[in-house]
Structure 1
């Protein structure tokens, strides 16, 4: 268990480092982006984070690994060396604690998607991402949601490919990850804290939704557990709203100055 926690902490730091580097390239075109060493370093950091996340699953339960994944938000605040406003600090703390609690309430499932279910999920997610991709004025936080969804679908397919390996599923995982990276990159036009929090919530939320609808995943505690889970969801929503509030109030300031959602002290 201690090994799993240590790996999750390292994974969170890697993801946060990658996100901070991506944010610095938020306004750069794709053609220029592919020539930037800093962006490729961000991709390497994200890849290291994903690898550490997978290895952590060998030493700890999925619920623990997912819950500790929200520490990416905390790590990002330290890595950027910026002082958040009171509202942003409260939003980060509320989102982190509430999401961790919600994931802890979710039960685990040993099942994996069937071929038909995998195709259905992939087509539905691909349709949503295609719809979002052709909208150049898609809000930054909506891009973060779509990016998080893409990573969540890729996670569900990864669980499947570990049981039923196939070239088609591996290809789908790669495509969803690439698309998710692109949407995430777009989202950082609105700063760092709000998009990162939004994507961090959307990722496990998508995986949990797939688990509940298709894999008979449930939650702990019966009716009381359901009430607690709904309270956690409400708290997560409030936390993201606090982080997103400045994006709505000062979008041009955030985008133009590349100041992120955390400000210098």
Structure 2
């Protein structure tokens, strides 16, 4: 049974990575501004390859849940996070380049750090409760943060922008996970729990997370964006569980120190991926930090003409 669950989890990790890599292919090619608005998702929803990627990622989630039904979280969670290595390999394949040793090492660091961090958090079994005002505060806070980052991201270089957008996307999806957990846990006892205001709040948070996730892919730094999402999403979900839903923090000072070290390892790996020269060549590549958004690039032909003319005049 455990062997079957492990194989199922591997298939799920691959499906999620493949689905995300397919989504990135259309996200970098989509028209629009450097950081696109909500209409960007409408455009992507009309692209067959992006829809296939979304279906692949959804299949990965389903396979992961099936694997969890037959094996402990401590076995399945590391396999799910290892999808980052699949993602690095797939994006290299799609962009027709080699996978660098440093990328694999950074991906492994993210995987080990995140698995270590998640394993140190307690996993409470009691049914969680979340007041509506608290849920509104959580989603409202994410919305305000998203608005601020959306404006600021236009002025940030592609590598840091990928981390910034993916962080907000991961935070929104982590909030979605926490809200969904409350709804699902309560719906198991009473199906009418699905009809509360927590459900539309979860949907709104998921849409916001999806917008920022696809904009992070749009930068062309897919591995860094995917790694950031893998880190931020579960950490925010676990944090809400610990601080808001009463699931608790790592118990001992040693566990807390180990959790901090694991988080730093995952963050370091993510930064290395962001700094790596592995950007999708189809992404808009001429943007500079501090440059105004949508600033047109100089026409090389006209620049050459001006240079020639100037040179001729000086002669």
What TM-score bracket applies, with the shorter chain setting the length? 0.7 to 0.9
User: Is 1:166 the equivalent of 2:194?
Assistant: yes
Residue 10 of structure 2 is matched in structure 1 by 9
Deviation at 1:251, TM superposition (A): 6.8
Give the structure-2-normalised TM-score.
Answer: 0.72
Residue 223 of structure 2 is matched in structure 1 by 193
Alpha carbons 1:63, 1:108 under 8 Å: kept: no
Query: In terms of Rg, which structure is larger?
Result: 2
Residue 236 of structure 2 is matched in structure 1 by 206
Residue 263 of structure 1 is matched in structure 2 by none
Residue 122 of structure 1 is matched in structure 2 by 139
2:276 aligned counterpart, secondary structure: helix
Is 118-127 or 148-157 further displaced after alignment? 118-127
Q: Which of the residues 119, 128, 150 maps onto 1:112?
A: 128
User: Is 1:58 the equivalent of 2:69?
Assistant: yes
Alpha carbons 1:68, 1:100 under 8 Å: kept: no
Deviation at 1:219, TM superposition (A): 4.8
Deviation at 1:6, TM superposition (A): 3.3
1:1-265 equivalences in 2 (<5 Å): 2=2, 3-27=4-28, 28-29=30-31, 30=40, 32-62=43-73, 64-80=75-91, 81=93, 82-110=97-125, 111-116=127-132, 117-135=134-152, 137=154, 139-164=161-186, 165-167=193-195, 168-188=197-217, 189-220=219-250, 222-246=252-276, 255-256=283-284
**After superposition, what is the alpha-carbon deviation per residue over 1:191-240, rounded to whole angstroms, capped at 9, x for unaligned?**
21111101110111111111221133335561221221111112112111
Query: In structure 1, how many angstroms separate the alpha carbons of the residues matched to 2:222 and 2:70?
Result: 31
Deviation at 1:51, TM superposition (A): 2.4
The alignment yields a C-alpha RMSD, in angstroms, of: 2.6
Query: In structure 1, how many angstroms separate the alpha carbons of the residues matched to 2:104 and 2:54?
Result: 27
Query: In structure 2, how many angstroms separate the alpha carbons of the residues matched to 1:21 and 1:135?
Result: 27
Query: In structure 1, how many angstroms separate the alpha carbons of the residues matched to 2:199 and 2:60?
Result: 19
Query: In structure 2, how many angstroms separate the alpha carbons of the residues matched to 1:69 and 1:144?
Result: 19
Residue 261 of structure 1 is matched in structure 2 by none
Q: When the two structures are aligned, how many residues end up with a matched partner?
A: 255
Give the structure-1-normalised TM-score.
Answer: 0.84
Deviation at 1:245, TM superposition (A): 1.4
Deviation at 1:183, TM superposition (A): 0.9
Is 75-84 or 92-101 further displaced after alignment? 75-84
| Greater share of helix | 1
Deviation at 1:182, TM superposition (A): 1.5
Query: In structure 1, how many angstroms separate the alpha carbons of the residues matched to 2:72 and 2:119?
Result: 10
Q: Which runs of 5+ in 2 are unaligned?
A: 32-39, 187-192, 286-315
Q: Which runs of 5+ in 1 are unaligned?
A: 258-265
Alpha carbons 1:148, 1:180 under 8 Å: kept: yes
Change (3 A) 1:251 1:43: closer
